[in-house]
Copies of this chain bind each other. A is one copy, B any other.
Amino acid sequence: MTSALISAAKSNREPFPVPEGTLQGLSIDNLIFGLHGSELKVLLIKHGEGIREGEWALPGGWIKQNEDLREAASRLLRDLTGISHPYLEQLKAFGKVDRYPAERVVTITYYALISADQYPLVAGFSASDASWVSAFDTPALVFDHKEILTYGIQLLQHQVRHKPIGFNLLPEKFTLLQLQELYEAILNIKLDKPNFRRKFMKMNLLTPCNEKQKGVAHRAANLYRFDKDNYSNLTEQGFSFEV
């Protein structure tokens, strides 16, 4: 990332001036989730200049005249993390009259799920610019960003039980225990290992890699990958994912 981009991203949440060639009164904010160890984290930006210096915010920015909403969210995510094809879905538009200082700004929020191996470190940004924070225990956030986060977590908790999106938080190859810990982290629950395993295996959504975990000080687990194609087949037949 060029330093111009970094500087743009750093100041992208500052009230004014809004860059030329972008839509007025409309912004994008991204809720970027990651799973670190077995903790659900969210990527926050610390404002480096201006009035909001030192405060934490969701990464966001403005929408260009000639780009779709999703494109804008995707571009902002890419500029920040370098990730080009994330799992990215619209969360909600937030538009309370006074949510943003000085001017009426409606923000359209997206949430992204990225896996730790796609984005092991905060590249381009120093640790003081951006950092992963426990999603359930963040510092105070600017504007209505806390409300956005709370809403996003609730949606994530709901979605993860009803759609197979959790895989996006894992590396391509993963063990069943990793998958289980993902659910435990997001939903704040404890699950029974043998039962969880059977339930998932019966869905026929996991393809064994015929490979084992490496570098662990105990019996190595089998690695699996999410079988997207079979998921498409199954959903066409009326299959519904539920955990």
Contacts and interface: CB of A to CB of B under 8 A. Distances in A.
A69 B90 contact: no
B96 A108 contact: no
A106 B23 contact: yes
Interface residues of A, number: 23
A23 B25 contact: yes
Nearest to A106: B26
Interface in A55-104: 63, 65-69, 90, 92-97, 104
Contact of A97 (B24, B67, B108): B67
Interface in A20-52: 23-26
Contacts of A25: 23-26
A68 B96 contact: yes
Nearest to A71: B97
B90 A92 contact: yes
Contact of A23 (B66, B68, B104, B162): B104
A242 interface: yes
A97 B67 CA distance: 6
A143 to B, nearest CB: 14
A214 interface: no
Interface string A155-166: 000100010000
Contacts of A23: 25, 104, 106
Contacts of A67: 97
A63 B25 CA distance: 12
Interface string A117-148: 00000000000000000000000000000000
Contact of A162 (B92, B108, B162): B162
